[in-house]
Chain A
Amino acid sequence: MEHNDTALPHVRKQSLGTRILKNRWIYLFLLPGIAFVILFCYGPMYGLVVAFKDYKISKGILGSPFADPWFSNFTLMLKDKRFIAAFFNTIRMGLAYIITGFPGPIILALLLNELHGSRYKRTLQVIYTFPNFLSWVIVGGLMTTIFAGEGVVNSLIRAAGGQTYGFLTDKGLIRPLLYITSIWKGTGWSAILYLAGIASISPELYEAAEVDGANRYHKMLYITWPEIRSTAVILLILSFGGIMSKGYDQILNMTNAVVRDAAETIDTYIYRITFQEKPKYGFSTAIGLSKSVINFCFLLIANKLAKLLGEGGIM
């Protein structure tokens, strides 16, 4: 899947056995990691077979009988109105997360790049990037302070003589609030990526442009932006790949029972039916498998597109 620059040289013809023996210590290093990956990454992939089974806790993954017919969990899934709603909501929210979250880091990086005085720049970066390293549990708590009934926003409204409002209990507002808080948390950190790209641009390019009479907008548009465009495309691809799995973490920590339906995604739906209702593991797994496959396809398509655009892609 990755670029194949490691093709074996055909110059020295040694037998496979000799070459394995010669490199045996490398396999020693690989052993723990590969064993772990097989057990905890490929094990669950094998566990996806539960999607085709009538899972019984007492019999486990291997012992449970296959469902009759084998695709019955998928038939149930397609008839499930809550799933269908969650499915479309996931795509809708995934796209909205990408559209709302994508420009911020680029703009922030470009503006930070125009700021002179590296000490201020560093302090600002520490502030901007810090929220990224907090859990959504904490960010959920912080946002309660801002948006809840007794929160900062409502205090301002009250001070201005208005009526307080339940922002977090409004079905129409919860999705925008999720996007906004996601931007609040992640923009600074994503901007670092672009800043790294900008920092690698040779100063000579700018100097040459200045000689030619370019002002800062010219430089931004014709030097800086083309340099970070490939980073931007790759990040966009990555976000399209994750479109189906964006933020159960955030949603589980920021939505209450009142607004739950408005922000129900496939992930939160799987979580709810498996761990908060009477579990039907085969059914949940069928949904999970469908999600993973669709997600994978999104990523392949996006990657293909990026390659067509001449930006290299990631695989």
Chain B
Amino acid sequence: MNREGTTGKLRKVEGFDVFNVIFLLFLALIVIIPFYYTIVRSFLTQQEFIMNGTTLLPRQPTLGNYRDIFVGTGMMRAFFNSVLYTVLGTAFSMFLATTLAYGLSKKNYPGRALFQNMIIFTMYFGGGVVPFFLLIKDLGLYGNRFAVVIALAFNAFNMIILRNFFEALPPDLEEAAMLDGASAVRIFWQIVLPLMKPALATVTLYFVVDRWNEWFWSNLVLIDSKMWPMQLELRQILWTSSQMAADVPAEIGRRTYAEGMKAAAVIVTMLPIMCVYPFLQKYFAKGVMIGAIKS
């Protein structure tokens, strides 16, 4: 960047722009490289992997690794489990978050400050993993799929994003509807929520991603591997056949096959998010901006 100091004002700007574009493209490349090589690796045959593990393009691309994933592991079942947990979990989370956020967006009723502080306190202090686990056990949810759906449903940050959106709504429509004698539930469902569509989309996406990526509690609570979500199945595939870094070159012959399968499993688990993210990015970004203003 220092070369700009010595040149004239106009060229100084151009020099910086060129540097900037090159640098940003370089950063993009760094982000892309791990994806690129993992995708390439997932299409490699065992022989080609041994010959040249890192290649720009597979010479004889194969779908064998993907076939092995779906035939040889529980990935297919895990996919449906993940869809189930994501759909039910997101729906339940959204129910809790929207009702609570709407209630908290109202002003001037006894107890508001108490409820608000109660929620905010949970953002700074929590019981932690062990008491939460013991609670799940005491509630008889251990080993139950619904432990994953229900127990993880609340997220204070997402709720506050929604509350901020609710607070930003003009009160006129609600007041008019109330004068017309509409019930509170009807006003919420038929007037307020439709106005909130972009915000609801944003927060729904956050919940969907959280749910899709969840593995920790599933790991602790779901004893039966038939109930596992995709992330946990992937983790199993990545960690059982060989530990991540048990990378002794002499063993290459036997283990390379597993490497292709692992790469394919990573890609398959990532695919749903990869397919929708580029089109929905602006919704993702929206929540950050609203959440950033307050909270």
Which listed residue, A25, A128, A231, A281, touches B292 by the CB 8 Å rule? A231
How far, in Å, is A42 (CB) from chain B's closest CB? 8
Are A16 and B110 also in contact (CB < 8 A) when A115-B21, A146-B37, A256-B244 are?
Answer: yes
| Segment 263-295 of B: residues with Cβ below 8 Å from A | 263, 265-266, 269-270, 273-274, 277-278, 281, 284-285, 288-289, 292, 295
Give every chain A residue within 8 A of B249 (Cβ-Cβ): 149-150, 164
Task: Assign chain B's interface to a size class.
Answer: 35 or more
Are A127 and B106 also in contact (CB < 8 A) when A1-B121, A47-B131, A145-B263 are?
Answer: no
Give every chain B residue within 8 A of A201 (Cβ-Cβ): none
In the assembled complex, A216 has its CB within 8 A of some CB on chain B? yes
- Interface contact B37-A137, CB-CB below 8 Å: no
Expressed in whole angstroms, the Cα–Cα distance for A258 and B110 within the complex equals 57
- Interface contact B134-A281, CB-CB below 8 Å: yes
Which listed residue, B17, B33, B138, touches A152 by the CB 8 Å rule? B33
Give every chain A residue within 8 A of B222 (Cβ-Cβ): none
How far, in Å, is A165 (CB) from chain B's closest CB? 9
- Interface contact A30-B104, CB-CB below 8 Å: yes
In the assembled complex, A262 has its CB within 8 A of some CB on chain B? no
- Interface contact B234-A137, CB-CB below 8 Å: yes
Are A215 and B9 also in contact (CB < 8 A) when A32-B95, A150-B252 are?
Answer: yes
Residue of A nearest to B133 (CB): A274
Residue of B nearest to A285 (CB): B130
Which listed residue, B16, B27, B234, B274, touches A141 by the CB 8 Å rule? B234
| Segment 113-155 of A: residues with Cβ below 8 Å from B | 114-116, 122, 124-131, 133-135, 137-138, 140-152, 155
- Interface contact B37-A152, CB-CB below 8 Å: yes
Give every chain B residue within 8 A of A140 (Cβ-Cβ): 238, 244
Binds B, one of A3-11, A79-87, A89-97, A202-210: A3-11
| Segment 250-285 of A: residues with Cβ below 8 Å from B | 252-254, 256-259, 267, 270-271, 274-275, 281, 284-285
Which listed residue, B30, B104, B138, B244, touches A168 by the CB 8 Å rule? B244
Give every chain B residue within 8 A of A34 (Cβ-Cβ): 100, 115, 118
- Interface contact A137-B235, CB-CB below 8 Å: yes
Consensus secondary structure, chain A interface: helix
| Segment 26-63 of A: residues with Cβ below 8 Å from B | 26-34, 36-37, 40-48, 50, 55, 57, 60-61
Residue of B nearest to A164 (CB): B249
- Interface contact B99-A32, CB-CB below 8 Å: yes
| Segment 195-216 of B: residues with Cβ below 8 Å from A | 209, 212-216
- Interface contact A44-B127, CB-CB below 8 Å: yes
Which listed residue, B100, B243, B248, touches A32 by the CB 8 Å rule? B100
Which listed residue, B32, B126, B215, touches A45 by the CB 8 Å rule? B126
Are A138 and B266 also in contact (CB < 8 A) when A126-B278, A155-B53 are?
Answer: yes
Give every chain B residue within 8 A of A47 (Cβ-Cβ): 127, 130-132, 134-135
In the assembled complex, B120 has its CB within 8 A of some CB on chain A? yes
Which listed residue, B97, B231, B281, touches A125 by the CB 8 Å rule? B281
- Interface contact A151-B130, CB-CB below 8 Å: no
Expressed in whole angstroms, the Cα–Cα distance for A21 and B35 within the complex equals 58
- Interface contact A188-B102, CB-CB below 8 Å: no
How far, in Å, is B146 (CB) from chain A's closest CB? 13
Give every chain B residue within 8 A of A131 (Cβ-Cβ): 31
Are A135 and B34 also in contact (CB < 8 A) when A9-B108, A34-B100 are?
Answer: no
